[in-house]
Structure 1
Amino acid sequence: MPSEQWTHPEPGDGPAAVAAQPSPEQVIAGLRATSEGGAELTQLLTPEGERVPSPQFDKYVEDVDAEALRGLYRDMVLVRRADREANAMQRQGQLGIWVPLLGQEAAQVGSGRALKPNDMAFPSYREHGVAYARGVDMKDLLGIFRCTDHSGWDYKAHGFHPYCIVIGNQVLNAAGYAMGQKFEGKVGDDDGEATICYFGDGATSQGDVHEGFVWAAVYDAPLVFFCQNNQWAISEPTERQSRLPLYQRARGYGFPGIRVDGNDVLACLAVSRWALDECRHGNGPVLIEAFTYRMDAHTTTDDPSRYRLSDELEEWKLKDPIERVRAFLARGGYADQAFFDSVQADADAFAADLREYTFNMPEPPPERIFSNVYAEGNPVLDAQREEFLSYLDGFVSAGEH
């Protein structure tokens, strides 16, 4: 049996490899398949900014003209600039922690812009670009990392759920929400609703993710599982977690999986539109593996130099998601230097506004922690609030004497 049978098993290709007894060649092929994009990688813009035609997905970006592509470029530049500013503010003690998205702008902006107003997105803790695409004020994100807020936005109005810190837990929440959409008859045509759930490659080793796969598959839930495979689950590479490419796991649950170039904003937009369309018409769920790279630390408490080589980072810098769009726009004459300069100026102003807000962010009153715990009043919670405030008042009284 050829070694590729282990990494690319197809019906009719012969007996599948026995998981308990793979040959050394099969193991090596499996590990290699998790670290390379492979022939099945969907790509519409190369790292050099050249357009790649796709008979399957071109129709999903027919409306993306030069103006729209300039808009996607601007989105990514602003999101990256905000990310870099927040990273710096954490180093200055203004934020307790920050979770960088550097290198993953295309995956987030492309998929985020594919959503319709009635769709719902369930993020983990790194989806700042999706939040931006859904109209969430990025100032509302900063309170989470300054430890003054959980989420300051109206998640129903924006179709963007609060951040989830527990690895993989948002997948169960998303599965339940998508099942509700199915039960309420909100799928079946062009006006149907869909849900998208974001998680990283590391989360695919969590039981919650697989439970979400099972429930979504059983109930044909309109749910797009969007895995941002940034190659590193904190300090462990993807090949330590899966012998198969992650998108192929969908086959075991009975729904389609696809691998897209996560550094290609146009491909991410097209593939996400296709997957969401499948779901809103009742053909879900779908798994998307956005093959990208985390060009910064897992969080600001992490030191990636301890577990990965600088050569790897330099290789991925050549695949930068922003630079390939810039190259395409410049080569085609769709944007000039004045445009790029104006976008950078807008990004700097955007970051300065976030910085000004963060440095002057008001401290919430102590009773804030009791707000919005329940939809209606609760006598037990009310009693706890009064006891807590009375306790704090005791310190004030003691200081007066």
Structure 2
Amino acid sequence: MTVQELPGAASYRPTPPPAWKPRTDPAPLLPDPEPYRVLGTDAVDGFAPELLRRLYAELVRGRRYNAQATALTKQGRLAVYPSSTGQEACEVAAALALEDRDWLFPSYRDTLAAVARGLDPVQALTLLRGDWHTGYDPREHRVAPLSTPLATQLPHAVGLAHAARLKGDDVVALAMVGDGGTSEGDFHEALNFAAVWQAPVVFLVQNNGFAISVPLAKQTAAPSLAHKAVGYGMPGRLVDGNDAPAVHQVLSEAVARARRGGGPTLVEAVTYRIDAHTNADDATRYRGDGEVEAWRNHDPIRLLEHELTERGLLDEDGVRRAGEDAETMAARLRERMNADAPLDPMDLFAHVYAEQTAQLREQAAQLRAELDAEGDA
């Protein structure tokens, strides 16, 4: 028997009980209909020239870092490298929007964000080299390990932010994820917990168009990824991910909101992955050269350089110095990466648990016996 066949079905109305009311007014949570922009608008006047020049220098340095790391994969010095070329504005802005006491939770593509936050460039690549589990001390730098599984770093960021608030620590966590990661269950769990707990965390989704070869249209039917925030009860912000000042402003505002107890924010930065997914990917199989070229004309470095030059905040000497600084960084990176790192196979067991389990001790003893036997031979 269906509802329509029940007695009194004519008066049946599928409406909520009278006591129902929205938990949150959705209107203030909705993102703007178009990505927020600063470059080319009067909003640039509100930025300190020193910040704009620093953003530019970091973008140039980041572009060179991506190119050098990609070259290292071809030389066999890196096993794999997920380039963030074209996405440098998101990477740099994420790092500069945080205070020293805050935490950054990067994905595998966000090595540049970690470097812009102050992490040693070689240490940022150690995981991708296959030498160590992480390659750096997360507590020292307040940068969580680069997360290769999609979106698993997001619940970790929420947990840290929630714990910090319970302890009374003035700490904000900023978690970075790609558009493909928004299709994972961890994304839902993280945003749901963050909103319910009002945790001081900011989620930055770098919408670069593809989850490897899968375009965004095959991942979601939402108006934008920023709209997903409304369903969890947090604000959604949509920003031009190639406009460095705009990304910095939106993230800074979200961080400040979280710090003063306003809860989480979901920021979608619309950008584009110029290079292939990794050096193991053939991007020509799922996108055309025309699409890539169109995004090259919306390059974050060119956009910011043009704006600063037009406003008299950057001259040829400033461009040259930024390029030279980037080349110096790349040369040092090459030199250090071309040196064979001293490797101890026993390090495999050193940083798995604070106290080794019986199984790990057994495995370590077995490996030690095999190494000793090879040494005797």
**Which residue of 125, 129, 139 corresponds with 1:142?**
125
**In the alignment, structure 1 residue 310 sits paired with structure 2 residue 304:** no
**In the alignment, structure 1 residue 397 sits paired with structure 2 residue 376:** yes
Q: CA separation in 1, counterparts of 2:340 and 2:206?
A: 31
TM normalised by structure 1 equals: 0.83
Answer whether contact 2:111 2:146 (CA < 8 A) is retained: no
Deviation at 1:70, TM superposition (A): 1.3
Deviation at 1:374, TM superposition (A): 2.6
Deviation at 1:203, TM superposition (A): 0.7
**In the alignment, structure 1 residue 229 sits paired with structure 2 residue 219:** no
User: What is the SS of the residue equivalent to 2:340?
Assistant: coil
**In the alignment, structure 1 residue 51 sits paired with structure 2 residue 41:** yes
Aligned to 2:5: none
Please list every run of 5 or more consecutive structure 1 residues that lacks an aligned counterpart in the other structure.
Answer: 1-9, 13-36, 187-191
* Structure 1 residues 383 and 347: alpha-carbon distance in aligned structure 2, compared to 1, 3 A threshold: same
| CA distances 1:259-312 after superposition (whole Å, capped 9, x unpaired) | 011001101111001101111111111100011111111111111110011111
Q: CA separation in 1, counterparts of 2:192 and 2:287?
A: 34
Deviation at 1:145, TM superposition (A): 1.3
User: What is the SS of the residue equivalent to 1:363?
Assistant: coil
**Which residue of 280, 284, 289 corresponds with 2:263?**
284
**In the alignment, structure 1 residue 384 sits paired with structure 2 residue 352:** no
Answer whether contact 2:125 2:135 (CA < 8 A) is retained: no
Q: CA separation in 1, counterparts of 2:165 and 2:355?
A: 28
Between the two proteins, the alignment pairs up a number of residues equal to 349
Mapping of 1:1-400 within 5 angstroms? 39-45=33-39, 50-53=40-43, 62=46, 64-186=47-169, 192-244=170-222, 245-376=224-355, 380-398=359-377
* Structure 1 residues 363 and 336: alpha-carbon distance in aligned structure 2, compared to 1, 3 A threshold: same
User: What is the SS of the residue equivalent to 2:148?
Assistant: coil
TM normalised by structure 2 equals: 0.88
Q: CA separation in 2, counterparts of 1:82 and 1:325?
A: 18
Deviation at 1:154, TM superposition (A): 2.1
Greater CA deviation, 79-88 or 149-158? 149-158
2:106 maps to a residue whose letter is: P
| CA distances 1:216-262 after superposition (whole Å, capped 9, x unpaired) | 11111111111000011110111111112100011011111010110
User: What is the SS of the residue equivalent to 1:225?
Assistant: strand
| CA distances 1:319-340 after superposition (whole Å, capped 9, x unpaired) | 1001111111211121211221
Answer whether contact 2:94 2:248 (CA < 8 A) is retained: yes
* Structure 1 residues 388 and 395: alpha-carbon distance in aligned structure 2, compared to 1, 3 A threshold: same
Answer whether contact 1:144 1:151 (CA < 8 A) is retained: yes
Q: CA separation in 2, counterparts of 1:104 and 1:327?
A: 18
Please list every run of 5 or more consecutive structure 2 residues that lacks an aligned counterpart in the other structure.
Answer: 1-24
Deviation at 1:361, TM superposition (A): 3.2
* Structure 1 residues 241 and 365: alpha-carbon distance in aligned structure 2, compared to 1, 3 A threshold: same
Q: CA separation in 1, counterparts of 2:26 and 2:139?
A: 42
User: What is the SS of the residue equivalent to 2:52?
Assistant: helix
Aligned to 2:4: none
User: What is the SS of the residue equivalent to 1:42?
Assistant: coil
Answer whether contact 1:148 1:363 (CA < 8 A) is retained: no
* Structure 1 residues 11 and 392: alpha-carbon distance in aligned structure 2, compared to 1, 3 A threshold: closer
Q: CA separation in 1, counterparts of 2:286 and 2:212?
A: 9
User: What is the SS of the residue equivalent to 2:226?
Assistant: helix
Q: CA separation in 2, counterparts of 1:338 and 1:274?
A: 33
| CA distances 1:174-214 after superposition (whole Å, capped 9, x unpaired) | 1211221222233xxxxx32111110001111111101111
Q: CA separation in 2, counterparts of 1:308 and 1:233?
A: 12
Q: CA separation in 2, counterparts of 1:299 and 1:89?
A: 13
2:133 maps to a residue whose letter is: H
Greater CA deviation, 333-342 or 227-236? 333-342
